[in-house]
Chain A
Amino acid sequence: MDAEINLVPFIDLLSCCISFLLITAVWTQIAGLQVSSSGGPPEPQQKQEQTVDLKLLLTEKGYQLTMPGAAVEIPKVTSAGGGAAFDRRSLADKLKTLKTSLPDQSAITVQPEDAVAYDDLVSTVDICLGEQLRNVTVAPLN
Chain B
Amino acid sequence: MAIVEPGKRPGPRIEQSRVFSKKFARGKKNGYAGLMLTSLVDMFTIIVIFLLMNFSANGEVLYMSKDIKLPDAYHGAQLERAPVISVSGDAVTFDGRQVASTDELVKGDVLNVPELEDALRDERRRYETIHAQDLEHPFRGLVNVQADRKIPFKVIKRIMFACNQSGFGNINFAALAKEGEGPRKVALK
Using CB atoms and an 8 Å cutoff, list the residues of chain A in contact with chain B.
Answer: 7, 10-11, 14-15, 17-18, 21-22, 24-41, 58, 77, 79-80, 85, 87-89, 91-92, 112-119, 121-123, 125-127, 129-130, 138, 140
A118 CB to closest chain B CB (Å) equals 4
A–B complex contacts, Cβ < 8 Å, 5 sampled:
A24-B59, A92-B187, A117-B149, A117-B152, A129-B75
A24, A27, A32, A38: the one within 8 Å of B77 (CB): A32
* B-chain residues with CB within 8 Å of residue A123 when the two chains form the complex: 71-73, 186
A7, A29, A129: the one within 8 Å of B41 (CB): A7
Tell me the nearest residue of chain A to B184, going by C-beta. A89
A138 B160 Cβ-Cβ under 8 A: yes
A40 B164 Cβ-Cβ under 8 A: yes
**Interface of chain B residues 90 through 147 with chain A (CB within 8 A):** 141, 144, 146-147
B121 CB to closest chain A CB (Å) equals 16
A97 to B61, CA, bound (A): 36
B40 A122 Cβ-Cβ under 8 A: no
Would you call the interface of chain A mostly helix, strand, loop, or mixed? mixed
* A-chain residues with CB within 8 Å of residue B78 when the two chains form the complex: 31-32
- Per-position 1/0 for B16-31, Cβ under 8 A of A: 0000000000000000
Known: A118-B148, A118-B151, A119-B149. A32 touches B173 (CB 8 A): yes
B174 A30 Cβ-Cβ under 8 A: yes
A14 to B186, CA, bound (A): 41
Known: A27-B54, A126-B75, A130-B74. A116 touches B186 (CB 8 A): no
A113 to B157, CA, bound (A): 10
B154 CB to closest chain A CB (Å) equals 4
Using CB atoms and an 8 Å cutoff, list the residues of chain B in contact with chain A.
Answer: 37-38, 40-41, 44-45, 47-48, 51-52, 54-56, 58-62, 64, 70-80, 87, 141, 144, 146-154, 156-157, 160-161, 163-164, 169-177, 182-184, 186-189
A130 to B77, CA, bound (A): 11
Rank and list the top 9 A-B pairs by shortest CB-CB distance, nearest first: A31-B76, A40-B169, A21-B51, A119-B149, A89-B187, A31-B177, A92-B183, A32-B172, A114-B154
A73 CB to closest chain B CB (Å) equals 17
A33 B173 Cβ-Cβ under 8 A: yes
* A-chain residues with CB within 8 Å of residue B58 when the two chains form the complex: 26
A28 to B69, CA, bound (A): 12
A94 to B146, CA, bound (A): 28
B48 A77 Cβ-Cβ under 8 A: no
Tell me the nearest residue of chain A to B51, going by C-beta. A21
A29 to B51, CA, bound (A): 14
Known: A7-B41, A30-B177, A31-B175. A118 touches B71 (CB 8 A): yes
A25 to B73, CA, bound (A): 21
B172 A34 Cβ-Cβ under 8 A: yes
* A-chain residues with CB within 8 Å of residue B170 when the two chains form the complex: 34, 36, 40
